[in-house]
Amino acid sequence: MAKKVLLKLSASPVKSSKRFIISVNTMRINKDDQVLVLIGINNGKKSRVISVDRKKSKVTVEGVNVVHKHVRRSRRNPQGGRLSMEKPIAISNVQLICPFCSQPTRVGFRFDKEGVKYRVCKKCKADINIVSHAKKKITK
Ligand SMILES: [Zn+2]
């Protein structure tokens, strides 16, 4: 009997600590935005955003942080050789170029009366795009 009890005890899983839900902020920089790069060899370069990683808050920018990978000949690349690919950089190292005033700016957010969320250029105060449409009626 004692053995059985022991087995049961060991089999019972340890209560896992509560999972914290990480809220993913709305990104200030989206795909296909024009951005100014602030670090590295490409400091001051203007380029296009290829992809955005929301969880790691990183962006991949065209022609920035290019890494060369040496690849052996294989079935996938029968040629082999040097592959060049962009690696993601931290979102804080790029600055959005406003499509309206074409200046590197900070990005803000704004709600209108109906609760529609806009991405706003901090310099010229123009709405860059709509982030989310109104879901609930905001009383006030
Ligand atoms: Zn602007």
Please give the chain's pLDDT, 140 residues, in tens.
555 555 555 554 555 555 555 455 678 899 999 999 998 888 999 999 999 998 889 999 999 999 998 888 888 888 888 888 999 999 999 999 999 999 999 999 999 898 899 999 999 999 998 988 877 655 65
Q: How far apart are CA 137 and CA 112, in angstroms?
A: 11
Other Cβ atoms less than 10 A from the Cβ of 80: the count is 12
* Spacing, Cα 128 to ligand 1 middle (Å): 8
Per-residue pLDDT, 2: 54
Q: Answer whether 89's CB lies under 8 Å from 59's CB.
A: yes
Per-residue pLDDT, 13: 52
Q: Answer whether 92's CB lies under 8 Å from 25's CB.
A: no
Q: Answer whether 46's CB lies under 8 Å from 33's CB.
A: no
Other Cβ atoms less than 10 A from the Cβ of 14: the count is 5
Domain 26-97 architecture: Roll (2.30)
* Spacing, Cα 36 to ligand 1 middle (Å): 14
* Spacing, Cα 57 to ligand 1 middle (Å): 23
Per-residue pLDDT, 17: 52
How far does CA 118 lie from the centroid of its chain?
Answer: 18
Question: In this structure, which residues have their CB less than 5 angstroms from ion ligand 1?
Answer: 98, 100-101, 121, 123-124
Q: How far apart are CA 106 and CA 122, in angstroms?
A: 6
